[in-house]
Amino acid sequence: MEFKVISFYKYIEINNPEELSARLRELCNQLGILGRILISKEGINGAVSGKIVSIEEFKRRINEFFEINFREQEFKENAYHKLVIRIRNQIVNFGIDVDLDKKGKYIESEELKKMLDEKEDFVLLDTRNKHEIKVGRFRNAVDLGINSFREFPKNISKLDKDKKIVMYCTGGVRCEKASAFLNENGFKDVNQLQGGIIDYTNKFNEHFEGSCFVFDDRLTYENSEPITRCMHCDKLSGDYINCNNLDCDELFICCKDCEIKMKKTCCLECKDSGRQRKVKKILNIVGKVINYYKKPKIALVELDKDIKVNSKLGFIGKTTDEFSQEIFELKDFYGKNIKEANKGELVTFPVDFNVRKNDKLFLI
């Protein structure tokens, strides 16, 4: 695997979120890292991806700001298609303020597995939303049936305050607030899974069933046999996709065969809709756009394969419609005219249409 996805959070007082945001944006751009980072005066919550060497440097540099733990997964490609850094009032929207000094005790993945193996008497509480739980969950965990984390405080009345509670979420950031809220409201023994589902499934397959919902382009990653079924053919599948009808965009479970057959749509009406995201098959990727200079219409490209003058390339991206371009002029990073360029080099050349950072190039 060439890429790595990491998630992280820390509740810590940040006096100048704007300054931290600017510094992290500069760092991510330098390293070619994409993802989503939320910053507030209460802390930081993020998930990013990039080449392994870049991610390792990112981890080293962010620990210069404050010590932080990371949940890590290797992946075959970049799991995000853009970089978003936002300043928010809260890094997780809970709706009310809580005293985070009252957070629950941490339980490591090894301890939770032992408790589950030995069938210890406790309440295993899932703090995630319904659509996340649907596709994967710990066996026999309590589902509060919430659509958003803001609903959590209103749905705890069914819980026994005297029972031992171990709560979990994807990476831990929601449990930290939820556990503090339970402690503030009289629960006697509140615990939270350190590192969340990601840490647990990195170590163990037992007890967690199905796939884990994640907040990047993957949408899910598989841990065990699926527990959900394709909405079209009823075959077992743990894959979420968004409907390709731009006026629908529903999140639904779909197997790979029906994804192709139905063109990534949730129903026949959406399949026949005129407002479709294009289903694109890209072969022979040769590089990606690093920057685009709008006035001269020049693309700066990082190459994954060799190209030469008169090559015919296709461009495609999340918001860039597919088009082809013959390369009549090719320059190296220093502006020298060249006839051909090799893998790993940065090159520039004119393009007829606007392109965007991270658009892919492929040979035609």
Q: Does residue 273 lie in a domain region?
A: no
What average pLDDT score do residues 156-175 get? 96
pLDDT at 360: 87
Q: Does residue 70 lie in a domain region?
A: yes
59 lies in the same domain as 134: no
Count of Cβ atoms closer than 10 Å to residue 249 Cβ? 12
pLDDT at 147 > cutoff 80: yes
Residue 169: active-site member = yes
Distance (Å, whole) CA 352 – CA 364: 16
43 lies in the same domain as 110: no
Point out the domain boundary residue: 171, 203, 235: 203
Q: Does residue 146 lie in a domain region?
A: yes
108 lies in the same domain as 38: no
pLDDT at 281: 55
pLDDT at 8 > cutoff 70: yes
pLDDT at 116 > cutoff 80: yes
105 lies in the same domain as 170: yes
Point out the domain boundary residue: 64, 87, 110: 87
105 lies in the same domain as 198: yes
Q: Are 43 and 91 in contact (CB under 8 A)?
A: yes
Q: Are 48 and 58 in contact (CB under 8 A)?
A: yes
316 lies in the same domain as 353: yes
Q: Does residue 313 lie in a domain region?
A: yes
49 lies in the same domain as 119: no
Let me know if 176 is exposed, middle or buried by CB neighbors in 10 A (0-12, 13-18, 19+): buried
* Sign of the alpha-carbon dihedral angle for 71, 74, 78, 80: negative
Point out the domain boundary residue: 203, 219, 247: 203
Number of domains comprising the chain: 3
Q: Exactly one of 28, 169, 230, 254 is catalytic; which is it?
A: 169
Q: Does residue 246 lie in a domain region?
A: no
Digit-coded pLDDT (tens) for 272-306 = 998 888 655 545 789 999 998 988 999 999 999 99
Digit-coded pLDDT (tens) for 257-277 = 898 899 899 999 999 998 888
113 lies in the same domain as 79: no
Q: Does residue 242 lie in a domain region?
A: no
Distance (Å, whole) CA 354 – CA 364: 19
pLDDT at 113: 98
The CATH number of the domain holding residue 350 is: 2.40.30.10
Q: Are 16 and 91 in contact (CB under 8 A)?
A: no
Percent of the chain having pLDDT more than 70?
97
The CATH number of the domain holding residue 17 is: 3.30.70.100
149 lies in the same domain as 195: yes
pLDDT at 179 > cutoff 80: yes
pLDDT at 211: 95
Range of the domain at 153: 100-203
Digit-coded pLDDT (tens) for 312-349 = 888 887 667 677 888 989 999 889 999 999 999 999 99
Q: For residue 2, what pLDDT band results from cuts at 50, 70 and 90?
A: confident
What average pLDDT score do residues 242-266 get? 92
The CATH number of the domain holding residue 188 is: 3.40.250.10
